[in-house]
Amino acid sequence: MSASLVVLPILLPIIAAPLLFIFNGRAAFQRAIALFTAVIVAAVAVWLLLETRSAGVLTHAVGGWKSPFGLMIAADLLGAVFVTLTSLLSVLIVVYSFKTIPERGQGHSYYPLLMLLLASINGLSLTGDIFNFYVFLEIMVLSSFTLVAFEGKRKELEASFKYAILNLLASTLLLVSVVGIYGVAGTLNMADLARKFAGQEIPELVPIVMLFVAAFGIKAALFPFHFWLPDAHSMAPTPVSAMLSGIIVKMGVYGLIRFFYTILGGLELGEVIMWLAAVSLVFGMICAVSQKDIKRMLAYSTISQVGYILIVFSLGSAAGLTAAIVYTANHMVIKAGLFMLAGIIIKQTGTKRMDEMGGLLGRMPVTAVLFLIGSLALAGVPPLNGFISKLATVVAILDNGKPLLLVPVVIGTMLTLVVMTKAWAQIFLGESRRKAVESDWLTLAPVVALTVAIFALGVLAQPVMTMAAETATQLLDPEVYAVSVLGGIKL
């Protein structure tokens, strides 16, 4: 039973995608199938997380081929956490898409692509083979750049092309590093690699590490590679923006964690990543200050927030990894909610520019309150969940004895508060310029769910922190993963 549990989060959406194409043109069927699949996958994911927590790493050998030779699907805590986050978010995104994606897209390729995206992210989180990792990464880029261009107008196509070329370049770099690793070690299995690299100094690994840091840096929009992100995230259909900012950018961070901790058994180039992340943290917010387009502003803020995650990741300590995982979960909840609200506001007012909105407080009070809660959570105001992640960040940095790093963290947080309150005031206060009414409840429901999660993760932070700490402990001991995947085999 546990073996099929590991495969289901990948298999179900992959089966659903062609099934949805069979119902091409029948929007009601497609909506029902997509929602059904997403709910089942989410249930399986939560079950998988609980099972992984109690029973340790779950594995499945594809096709019955024994471990170092065949393809492995393996769920450790990190993978299970990412699968759970993605699957829960995708349920909300499917519900949000019902009314916000134009009718012409509903019955055709939108839901199949969304399901492929879900399958590829779950696949990335669960695979135990580095070449398979590359394949899932490629599927993720393909389905997401097609979704970015979904509206098919000029700006969307332009953003999609930029996103595609940059991310495919990153995938190519990753492929070179995967081949390099294969050339050095002669295996593609992550657990087997961990065994072979344990406690050895291999000079050939230096260029390989540089290659995959660059590849994942592009995926995670680390400072010099960030320029594709604002275009793609602001031009995608809103539910896709929520997915892009909520989880896809973090797959870069996930890849770094996987390659450094599970395979190489320790962090390298930490200083480089740390200072680039510090720059992208401050730089993202400085760019966000001057934005007029609401979704573009949120996209720049994503660059800065991923900067926080990479800073704590680059500390290389258990506290840092814990903070990175907590931050990833909390930022996903907050930013997905904010993007969904931005989509609602854009749809109701008919403009993307914040300076043309104004005075919506009286017309859309529920949206205004939800947006305020999201903004405050992003800036890290207690008792919301953003505060917990900021607290974990600061504790991790001080624990590691690098107080100088607090300077960009504090500047970034202050700028976030400035940007978000300014945006809120510009959108909801002042004189009313546009006729707008409250959105329908079906579209608001996912945002309400995310706002409840903002409070819940803030007030009941202890279980989340414990879970993240367990994940970090498991990651820092790659032998746990290796033993579960390889069994007793010694090569």
Report the interface residues with other proteins, using CB under 8 A: 131, 135, 138, 141-142, 145-146, 149, 152-155, 157-161, 164-165, 168-169, 172, 175-176, 179, 182-183, 188, 231, 235
Take residue 105 and report the two structure tokens written for it: 């897209």
Residue with tokens 């390989």: 208
What's the CA gap between 453 and 335, in Å, rounded? 12
Give me the least distance between CB of 28 and other proteins, in Å please.
28
Report helix, strand or coil for 81.
helix
Give me the least distance between CB of 323 and other proteins, in Å please.
35
What's the CA gap between 97 and 337, in Å, rounded? 13
Give me the least distance between CB of 8 and other proteins, in Å please.
23
CB nearer to other proteins: pick between 154 and 435: 154
Give me the least distance between CB of 161 and other proteins, in Å please.
5
Residue 59, H or E segment: strand 58-61
CB nearer to other proteins: pick between 67 and 451: 67
- β-strand partners of 129: 189
SS3 content of the chain, % helix, strand, coil (to 5): 80, 5, 20
CB nearer to other proteins: pick between 168 and 391: 168
CB nearer to other proteins: pick between 113 and 310: 113
Give me the least distance between CB of 130 and other proteins, in Å please.
11
- Residue of 308, 347, 332, 313 whose CA lies nearest to 385: 332
CB nearer to other proteins: pick between 263 and 278: 263
The 8-class DSSP code of residue 62 comes to: G
CB nearer to other proteins: pick between 179 and 381: 179
Alpha carbon separation from 356 to 293, 421, 429 (Å, rounded): 10, 17, 12
| Helix ranges, 316-356 (H) | 318-349
What's the CA gap between 221 and 310, in Å, rounded? 10
Give me the least distance between CB of 297 and other proteins, in Å please.
15
Please calculate the CA angle 458-462-464 and round it to the nearest 5 degrees. Answer: 80
Give me the least distance between CB of 180 and other proteins, in Å please.
8
Give me the least distance between CB of 419 and other proteins, in Å please.
20
CB nearer to other proteins: pick between 15 and 165: 165
- Residue of 346, 164, 147, 136 whose CA lies nearest to 255: 136
CB nearer to other proteins: pick between 8 and 141: 141
- Residue of 261, 131, 266 whose CA lies nearest to 188: 131
